[in-house]
Structure 1
Amino acid sequence: MFDCVLPTRNAGNGQLFTSKGLINITNKSHKETFKPLDANCNCYTCSNFTLAYLRHLYNIKEILAFRLGTIHNLTYYMSLMKTIRKNIESGTFSSWSNEYLDQMVNYRGM
């Protein structure tokens, strides 16, 4: 990987990356969402905690929230880098990146 504070800094601000796009965990829309943060992620956070519980932790400024968010964001970025390398090796990076960026820009996960 590379040295980057983005996953940790964003987690500290309640911004969590998902396979669909970026969400702000503190938004009210997640108050009663009793499902994982990202169904396509197998990190510790997604395997053990719901969006509603993560939102609660963030809203009360519980330090565990920032740790769980960081674990998830780092897992997301590790997976993203693996996918990027795979697409570079197979010569499909240009088309994949266009599709990926369109999805990320258009996602309204709140």
Structure 2
Amino acid sequence: VAEALLADSDGHAKAFWAIREGLVEGQAKRGYHVRTDLSVRISDIPALVDQARHFVALEHPGWLPQAYGHAGDGNIHFNVLPPEGLTVVEARNRGADITAGLYRIANSL
């Protein structure tokens, strides 16, 4: 992790949660997307995110990875948004492949 922020007041904590909830709402507005909760040792989070992003870029070009979560406990929400123009059926079929790949990566760490 290159940079982290800690809330030092209730106002900052609320602002952080607003950003996090905005991510969820924005993804939902895009429609179907791959949603995963990946858990690894805290020390493995950088490798998880790097390997997962590489996997998506290599195997599923055009899909947009979104990694966020509560890194203090090793849990990362790694969601992936499909490119525009795919039908929901096409996106779900590819999404199953992406989900399996992401869990393989997390389980290997």
Query: 1 or 2, which has the higher strand percentage?
Result: 2
For normalisation by structure 2, the TM-score amounts to 0.32
For normalisation by structure 1, the TM-score amounts to 0.32
